[in-house]
Amino acid sequence: MKTKLMRYLSAPLAGLVLLAGCTRPHDELPASGTTLRVRLAPETLRDRQLTAGEEEIGSVTAFRFEEGTLQEIVEGRADGNGNHAFRLTGLAGELRFVANAASIARPETGSSLEAFDAIVAPTTALAGDAPAMTGRMTLEKPLPTLATVGMRRSVARIDLEATDSGVAVQRITIRGVADRGYLNVRPTAETPAAAERIDFTKAYTDGRLTAGRDPLLYVCEQTGPAATVEVLATFGGGLHRMTATLPATLERNHIYTLRVHGSGANAAITVTADGWESGEQTETSPALKGLIDASASTLDEGVRINAAGDTVRVSYLGGNFRLALRAEADAEVAVEGHLRGVTATVTPATRALQPAASVTVTADRRMPNEATGYLYLDIRRDDTHSGRVVVLFEPNPTRITGLSLDEEGVCDYGRYIDGELGRIELPAGKQATLEFDAGEDPWMALADAGSGTLRLLGGWKPNDPKADGRTQEGRLVIADADGSHAERYTVRRINQGLPVVRIGGQWWCKYNLRGNVRSFEDQITVANDPAADTRLADYLASCSDEELLRLLGDQYQGGNRQGLPLRHNGTSFYYEGMQGSAQHFGALDPTYMAPDGYEVPDYDDYAFFSGSDNYNIGGVGSRSYNNRRGDRINVRIIERDATFLGQPYGTIAFYEFTSGEGCWVLDGLGHQWNTTAGNISRMMILLATSGNSTSSWLMEGYAQSEKANQNWLKFVSQNATKTRTVRCIKTPVEYIYK
């Protein structure tokens, strides 16, 4: 259930426009610029209930500021894998990200960062169907392959919880909350001058809330005067009125929980602030009595009992300790709550005049991003609630975004991944290192991002002989400066890779894709490269027809990740599975039709091999020419006649390009232009090209015997139906290891 403040006071701002309400489609992205891929990571809350939409990233807008001035506004495009792409025209300054804020006013280009930070919106707009979120990153060259940006919600949430037996809440009123707040994070929490204070009341239509948790409302970040809470609840046979005061500062991205507990003549409201980030706890009257006998308890380092004797704080490091509880000899102690890695065992007293019971607690270390945890030790006698001890488990001060750790502290991707894996925010006095088992390559690295933050990078090794599907593992170690209190978190991925050559400043794959474009198992991989130790063009010219057909790969249509294999129906060749319509490769994310870590080349990648958009590289034999940027290119063209599937296919050519120390071979089957069998242009290799929704690169080849010295590299308009050859490049990666 989600309840929002219903009062909406509009306050239009001069010179502002509304944030975009939807993500701009790919073919509306700027034709030029650099694409930044970003994983937006909302700060999550473990061991707590999330309401619908609270982790949803809907529309996302990036604002690029340079020297305090807004230079450009870029709408994000979701890639279907949880990431967003932004086409930037400039690569300097700072990016500010805003999500789920379609109805909130924003500055126009040319306005100041100060004006952007001063945007104020009503609570209803900040909450919306999904809470507005903001994040930021500094642009640095080179751009990361995939940046991770932590996103903070612009609102706080207030929940009501009543879990004690016999307690039933009938009505709650919260007085004095601000009706609007700032969209962006401020240096310190503050309330806008234009904000008004309003009240919220909820009466439970069925008459009560029992044994449950109810998300009441979202509120803006605000400072005093503190809002007050009044709860009407029944317990012990009577109706009781209880009051509490919320913290004077309500911070964004926090959940404030009003816990109503009690029985008989004793009751209390406990106000806690939890993460999305961790907070503090206050208690209200009527308060419980001190119940812990500190002198009879056995405490570990990092376990503290408050002066009132009713609250225990446990360091995030965990530990083993025993609490002795005071009460009558026949009282019973019950443990309420469940936390990962925490066990609590109650041992009743065996003699009178001793504490009623001892509770032995064993707690594992709290992992990064786990919220403050709570256990409750309830003392009852003759069905009367006589006291409660709160055991509070402090959150880990280290924050990690981007990595998804399981309960064992393991992040197992189960696939190949590289680029920025996550970010680690270290508290003062902590350090982070990486460790690997003997024989394992250092496939991860740490890079300083400033302000106590480290970037965890996944690396890549060209033509890695170990890229055969085995699991790579490394450990992120966080410890004190002297190495004590070490925490180890395991990161795993599948090491897979395709054979590549370096030419023109790009890592080009040696072979065309075949089978499922996402499956390494379907591809010619490093481990099974038949021409690893010989010139590929010569191997293709001399291998068997069966081997040649395998190495030339399949044909593809945009959006269909499954290859279209060459077939013969007794009369004509055709590509099995071809459809009458398809998406254009230029309208797809470059990584969509490629294995993890690779992508479809764009115009500039293929342009390196050509002197213009319509360039004849000549016929069979060798020659040299300059490409359009002045690089010297040597090309060697070889032909052979091929027989595929027991039928004569005709002449096929292999184009070997050499520049500097790089040598790359272009080859492929001819494209089919419609679904009619036989309509294949045998030597016209139509190349999948990203970034342009109408044109593709084409090797317009001719046999030397048919049209001598005619092989043209062309960038021309093509319809989406025609099949393409897919030759990938390596997606740029920041960390390359040896």
Cα separation, 633 vs 631, in Å, equals 6
Which 3 state secondary structure label does DSSP give 524?
A: coil
Q: Which amino acid is located at 553 in the chain?
A: G
Cα dist from 85 to 25, 26, 78, 433, 584, whole Å: 11, 9, 6, 30, 18
pLDDT band for position 520 (cuts 50, 70, 90): very high
Cα torsion 665, 670, 674, 679 to 10°: value is 180
For domain 156-393, the CATH architecture is Sandwich (2.60)
For the chain, give the percent of residues with pLDDT over 90: 67
pLDDT at 247 over 60: yes
Longest dimension (CA), the chain: 109
Residue 654 has pLDDT above 90, yes or no: yes
pLDDT of residue 229: 92
Distances from the Cα of 260 to the Cα of 41, 174, 285, 290, 374, angstroms: 33, 14, 11, 18, 15
Instruction: Out of 1.10.940.10, 2.60.40.2580, 3.40.630.30, 3.40.50.740, select the CATH number for domain 16-152.
Output: 2.60.40.2580
The span from the CA of 675 to the CA of 424, in Å, is 52
Q: What is the pLDDT of residue 382?
A: 66
**Stretch among 79-93, 156-170, 452-466, 491-505 having the lowest mean pLDDT:** 156-170
Tokens of 401: 């975004």
pLDDT at 237: 66
| Of 645 and 265, the one with more pLDDT | 645
Report the C-alpha gap between 346 and 331 in whole angstroms: 12
Rg (CA), the chain: 32
Instruction: Sketch the domain layout of the chain as residue ranges.
Output: 16-152, 156-393, 399-496, 500-730
Residues facing 241 on adjacent strands: 232
CA angle 100, 101, 106 (to 5 degrees): 150
Strand 711-717's sheet: what is its strand order? 614-616, 711-717, 695-701, 684-687
Tokens describing residue 441: 């390559």
> 530: cis peptide before it, omega within 30°?
no
How far is Cα 685 from Cα 721, in angstroms, rounded to an integer? 14
Q: What is the mean pLDDT of residues 48-73?
A: 82
Dist. CA 583–CA 128, nearest whole Å: 34
Lowest mean pLDDT among 62-66, 290-294, 607-611, 699-703: 290-294
Instruction: With a cut of 80, say whether residue 354 has pLDDT above it.
Output: no
The reply to whether 156-393 and 399-496 are identical in fold is yes
Mean pLDDT of 667-680: 98
Q: Which residues have C-beta within 8 Å of that of residue 403, sequence separation ≥ 6?
A: 411, 421, 422, 456, 489, 491
pLDDT-derived band at 259, boundaries 50, 70, 90: confident
Q: What is the pLDDT of residue 74?
A: 95
For residues 496 and 469, is the Cβ–Cβ distance under 8 A? yes
- pLDDT score, position 14: 32
For residue 408, count other CB atoms closer than 10 A to its CB: 11
Distance between CA atoms of residues 2 and 56, nearest Å? 14
Question: How many angstroms from the chain centroid is the CA of residue 247?
Answer: 32
In this structure, which amino acid lies at residue 594? A
Q: Quick check: bond before 286 cis, omega within 30?
A: yes
pLDDT attached to residue 394: 95
Top CATH class, 399-496: mainly beta
The pLDDT, as a whole number, for residue 213 is 79
Q: How high is the pLDDT of residue 4?
A: 36
pTM of the model: 0.67
Token pair listed for 127: 């909450």
Beta bridge partners of 642: 650
For residue 442, whether the previous peptide bond is cis, meaning omega lies within 30 degrees of 0, is: no
Query: Using CA atoms, how far apart are residues 99 and 699, in angstroms rounded to an integer?
Result: 43
**Confidence tier at 29 by pLDDT (50, 70, 90):** very low
CA 250 vs CA 55, 131, 218, 231, 637: distances in Å: 20, 16, 11, 19, 71
Beta-carbon contacts of residue 64 (< 8 Å; ≥ 6 apart):
70, 71, 72, 73, 74, 88, 90, 93, 94, 95, 139
| Sequential DSSP letters for 437-453 | -TT----EEEEEEETTE
